[in-house]
Amino acid sequence: MNPMQPAKPERLVFRHVRVFDGTGSLPFAAEVLVEGNAIVEVSRNGALAATDARVVDGQGAVLIPGLIDIHTHLALGSTIEQVNRPGDRSDADTALLVAHCGRVMIDHGYTSGYSGGSGSPHAEVAAKKAFDAGWVPGPRLRTSSFERVPGGPMGLATRFAGYQARGSHADEVVGFVREMHEAGVDAVKFLLNGVSAFDARSNLGEQFYDEEIEAAGKAARELGLSLTAHCYTPHSIQLALRCGFNLLYHLGWADEASLDAVEARKQHIFVGPAPGIVEADFVRGPRFGIMASPEGRAEQGEGVERIKRVGAELRRRGIRSIPGGDYGFPWNPVGMNARDLELFVEWFGYTPAETLHAATSVAGEAMGLPGKLGVVRPGALADLLLVDGDPTQDISLLRDRARLVAIMKDGRFHKAPVGL
C-alpha cells in the first residue's frame, strides 16, 4: 500500500443479531454492515455479501443505537467510581474531570451526551475535541455554558434571591451569550428558576427579568446558538418558549396553560424532565446534606409527585421528552445515567421500546443529527451497543454493564465483544 494513500475503511458485519433500529419498533432479525464510521447496509433478507468484512457473531443479542443522555454534567466531576464535590477549579483540572466522567459515561453505553451546563466551558470544549479525535474515550458531546446571573459568578449559585433583588441588565445577559459563543459552546443555558437543592423553595423563584431573556433569545438566534432553560414555573416555561429556547429542563410545576404552550411548540422543542435528579435529591441527597431538613424533604416529596404527573402528561400530548437526569453530582453520579430509562417506564408510563426510541432516535434529533445519530439504518453513524437480552422488554438490562457485550462509537469499538 502506498503510505501516502489513506487506509481503506475497515468493514465489519454483525451477524446473528436482532436489531432495535431506534424507531420504536420491536427488534427484528437482521445483519448490519459497518464501513468506517458509518452503517452502510441493514439486511433483513439473509446474509450480507461481505466476504472481506470482519464478522461479529452476536449469538442472538440485540443491537441498538448507542444511548444518548440529554442532560449530563461531566464537569461537576462525580462518577460511580469517585466523588468530586463541585468547586472552583482551573480549566485544566476541569478538563481532566470531564475526561474521567466521559470515559465512565461511555463505559455504560452512552455514546453521546448533551451538556446541561459546565462551570468551565473552555474545559468542556477542549474535552469534546479530545473525545472526537479519539485521544481519550468519551461520548459525542454537545457543549454548553452554565449561566451567569447579572452581577454574579458563572456556575451554580448557592442562594437564589430572584430578579427583584437587583436591577435589569439586558446588556450583561447579551454580553454573556456573546462570550459563550466566543468560547465555542453549542448551547447557552439559563437558570430561569432557582435550584431548591441548594436554596429551599427557589425552584419557584424567577431569576431574570423578561426583557433580559428576550434579549438573550435575540442574541442567540443571531449567533446560531441553541438555548437551554432550567425552568419549573409556568411563567418561566412560557418565557422560554416565547424567547426561542430549544431545550427545556424539568417543568415540574407546569400548569395546564404552560403545558398547552409546550404542546403548541412541540415540533420545535425538546424536553428533558430529568426524573433522575428528582429521585436522587429525595432518596440520596440527605446523605450529602441536600434537601435534608423536614421542609426540604416535604418540598422534594411534592416534587416527585409533580414530575410524575408532568412526565405522564408530556407523553400523553406527544411532546418529545428525552431521558437524562442531571448526572454528575455526588448524590447523582455519572454511571447511573440508565436509571432515567427505568424512571420513564416506572414514573411516566412509557413502554421500554418508547423509552429507547426517546433515548436514541429522538435524542439524535436534539443533538442536531436527525437520521444520522440514534438510528440503525444505512448512512447513520456507527454508534452501536450489543446487548445480552432484550431491553425493549426489560429496560433495566441497560443498567448492567455486564450486559453490554459491545460498545461502538464512530465505527470503533470502545468495548469489543469477547473473541474479536
Write out pLDDT tens, residues 171-217.
Answer: 999 999 999 999 999 999 999 998 888 888 889 999 999 999 999 99
Q: How many CB atoms lie within 10 A of CB 310?
A: 26
Same domain, 399 and 266: no
Residue 85 shares a structural domain with residue 127 = yes
Same domain, 324 and 376: no
Kindly state whether residue 181 falls inside one of the protein's structural domains. yes
Whether residue 244 sits in one domain with residue 382: no
Cβ neighbourhood burial of 226 (10 Å; 0-12, 13-18, 19+): buried
Q: Which three cell numbers stand for residue 240?
A: 422560554
In the predicted structure, residue 310 carries a pLDDT above the cut 50: yes
Q: Is residue 140 part of a domain?
A: yes
On whether the CB atoms of residues 76 and 374 are closer than 8 A, the answer is: no
Structural domain includes residue 1: no
Domain boundary residue, one of 337, 355, 383: 337
Q: Over pLDDT 70: what percentage of the chain?
A: 96
Within this chain, do residues 153 and 258 fall inside the same structural domain, yes or no? Answer: yes
Question: Are residues 95 and 186 part of one domain?
Answer: yes
Dump pLDDT digits (tens) for 351-386.
999 999 999 999 999 999 999 999 999 999 999 999
135 part of a folded domain? yes
Single residue among 316, 337, 358 that ends a domain in this structure: 337
Domain final residue, candidates 337, 354, 383: 337
d(CA 31, CA 211): 54
Does residue 50 carry a pLDDT above 60? yes
Q: Is residue 103 part of a domain?
A: yes
Q: What is the CATH number of the domain that holds 252?
A: 3.20.20.140
Q: Are residues 47 and 86 in the same domain?
A: no
Same structural domain for residues 130 and 117?
yes
Q: Report if residue 362 sits inside a domain.
A: no
207 lies in a domain?
Answer: yes
Same domain, 93 and 165: yes
- Look up the domain containing 36 and give its range: 11-65+372-415
What is the CATH classification number for the domain harbouring 37? 2.30.40.10
Mean pLDDT value of segment 25-37: 95
The number of folded domains in the chain is 2
Please check whether residues 326 and 400 belong to one and the same domain: no
User: Quick check: is 350 in a domain?
Assistant: no
Q: Tell me what the pLDDT averaged over the chain comes to.
A: 93
pLDDT by residue (tens digit) across 58-96?
A: 999 999 999 999 999 999 999 999 998 777 788 999 999
Is a pLDDT exceeding 50 seen at residue 1? no
pLDDT value of position 200: 87
Is the domain of 397 the same as that of 282?
no
Q: How confident is the model at residue 9 (pLDDT cuts 50, 70, 90)?
A: confident
pLDDT over 60 at 139, yes or no: yes
Look at phi and psi of residue 64 and say left if phi exceeds 0, alpha if psi is from -120 to 50, else beta.
beta
Instruction: Determine whether 47 is exposed, middle or buried from the number of CB atoms within 10 Å of its CB (0-12, 13-18, 19+).
Output: exposed
Pairwise CA distance, residues 117 & 65, whole Å: 25
Residues 48 and 88 both lie in one domain: no
Q: Is the pLDDT of residue 284 over 80?
A: yes
Out of 144-148, 317-321, 326-330, which region has the weakest mean confidence (pLDDT)? Answer: 144-148
Range of weakest confidence among 34-38, 102-106, 144-148, 259-263: 144-148
CA-to-CA separations, 46 to 15, 41, 255, in angstroms, rounded: 10, 12, 52
> For residue 4, is pLDDT > 60?
no
pLDDT surpasses 90 at 291:
no
- Give the pLDDT mean for 259-264: 98
